[in-house]
Amino acid sequence: MSAPTVLLTLGRLPKALDIARSFSAAGWRVVVAEPFARHLTGASRHVAKSVAVRPPSAGKQAYLDDLLRVVREEEARLVLPVSEETMHVAALHGRLPPGVRLFAPPPERLLPLHDKLAFARRCAAYGVRVPETHPLGTEEAAALAARQDVVVKPVHSCGGRGFRLVRRGAPLPAEPAPHVVQAFVPGRVHSSCGIAQEGRLVANAIYRGVMFAGSVATVFERVTDAPRIEEWIARFVAASGHTGFISFDLMVDEAGEPWGIECNPRATSGVHFLRTEAIAPAILEGIPAAPREEARLQQFYSVLTALSGVMFRRGYLATLRTLLGTRDVTWSWRDPLPFLTMTWTTWPILRLALQRRRPFGEVATLDLDWYEGERPPSA
């Protein structure tokens, strides 16, 4: 009997590589649908085939048609969205051939989690802490900004794009696209990445950024003693009945209380803290996934870029120690090519980052972002 096929709908990011390696170890044939002709995960010996598809930014329907074609041609039994493209892939519910599973909720359940205003309202309904949040342009938002510091951010955004802090009493910006105004909670940001099955968490990693490129963490460490965060996440997931990847950003205040500030209903870098071989069983059978041994991980090339930026300046030695002493998320001696060929496979993204003078993580998914219309605004 031939191995069943899983279709990953993204391959350019390291988290896709972990998922591909896990499904290959579980005896599955791995196919990747990716708008870029070459990509990080495609260099792995665990990937049987990569297929180029049109990106969502070129037309959502064209993107979905391409995915359906790949599902049929490759006889996929499982469609597994990885990152921001999840918001588009969810529309395949009801369109897939019989017997093909999609590991994500339908749009009517998924999109309210991605929407920052709808998420805040869900938190309030589920009884978990969330900062006061209002639509930009309303009297409530203006009143909130008049009495305390606030954060203004797009309703649909990722990678920290469009985020700004507005001090108390300062005028709020005028934005054409929908934004929210949220009370600023002083504290430290913690993130999570979980795998849920019908409201039950079968895997969850809590972590925080140690080194950043722009607003995107390039070095991160796992947090092992965070019962209040674990309780917050478990309560939200149970109330939502979610199935799929689900991740959160939470601000922990001075009293140790977590406040939910954002939900990412997709995989994040926290997936690297799960044992690679345990990811597929958690998705396929709901078997709890244990954490890996390493407590700190890095994205090597992003840290290397940061090192060149502080060459012979303050912070150089600390960055160098991090680079040399932290395990990279892509490296595996059994599967070395993704790490060794990373400059070549990620060049399309690197080139865009250099052209726009923006961090790699902020431009890596520009063609995948969710927007209400067919065409995204200029980045």
Domain ranges of the chain: 132-183
Quick check: 373 pLDDT over 70? no
pLDDT for the residue 81: 98
Task: Tally the C-alpha atoms within 13 A of residue 262's C-alpha that lie toward its C-beta.
Answer: 24
- Structure tokens of 46? 């665990």
Is residue 358 very low, low, confident or very high in pLDDT (cuts 50, 70, 90)?
A: confident
| Residue 315: per-residue pLDDT | 53
How confident is the model over 147-158, as a mean pLDDT? 91
Q: What percent of the chain has pLDDT over 90?
A: 73
Would you state the pLDDT for residue 228? Answer: 97
Helix (H, G, I), strand (E, B) or coil at 301: helix
pLDDT of residue 320: 54
208: part of which helix (H) or strand (E)? strand 200-213
| Long-range residue pairs from 24-29, CB within 8 A, at least 24 positions apart, any chain | 25/276, 25/277, 25/280, 26/277, 26/280, 26/281, 26/284, 27/3, 28/3, 28/4, 28/78, 28/280, 29/2, 29/3, 29/4, 29/5
Q: What is the mean pLDDT of residues 151-173?
A: 87
* Over residues 324-341, mean pLDDT: 88
- Has residue 183 got a pLDDT over 90? yes
How far is residue 353 CA from its own chain's centroid? 18
| Mean pLDDT confidence for 141-161 | 89
Q: What average pLDDT does this structure show over 298-302?
A: 68
Comparing 170 with 299, the larger pLDDT belongs to 170
Task: Give CA 254 to chain center in angstroms.
Answer: 27
**Sign of torsion over alpha carbons 115, 19, 99, 67:** positive
The predicted pLDDT at position 348 comes to 86
Question: How large a percentage of the chain has pLDDT more than 70?
Answer: 88
What count of residues does the chain have?
Answer: 379
Identify residue 368 by its one-letter amino acid code. Answer: L
The single residue listed with the structure tokens 């052209």 is 355
Instruction: Give the pLDDT of residue 101.
Output: 98
Residue 281 half-sphere exposure, CB side, CA atoms within 13 Å? Answer: 11
Instruction: Name the average pLDDT for the chain.
Output: 89
Residue 56: band (very low, low, confident or very high) from pLDDT cuts 50, 70, 90? very high
The DSSP bridge pattern shows strands 244-252 and 188-197 to be antiparallel
**Tens-place pLDDT, residues 7-45:** 999 999 999 999 999 999 999 999 999 999 999 999 999
pLDDT at 184 (0 to 100):
97
Question: Is the per-residue pLDDT at 307 higher than 70?
Answer: no
Beta-carbon count within 10 A of 201 CB = 21
Residue-wise pLDDT tens digits, 228-284: 999 999 999 999 999 999 999 999 999 999 999 999 999 999 999 999 999 999 999
Q: What is the pLDDT of residues 62-121, one digit of tens each?
A: 999 999 999 999 999 999 999 999 999 999 999 999 999 999 999 999 999 999 999 999
The whole-number pLDDT of residue 378 equals 42
Least confident of 2-6, 176-180, 263-267: 176-180
Report which of residues 308 and 206 the model is more confident about: 206
Residue 321 has pLDDT above 80, yes or no: no
- Residue 364: pLDDT band by 50, 70, 90 thresholds? confident
Whole-number pLDDT of residue 366: 86
Per-residue pLDDT reduced to its tens digit, 43-55: 999 999 999 999 9
| DSSP string computed for 111-137 | HHHHSHHHHHHHHHHHT-----EEETT
- Tokens for 290? 């244990």
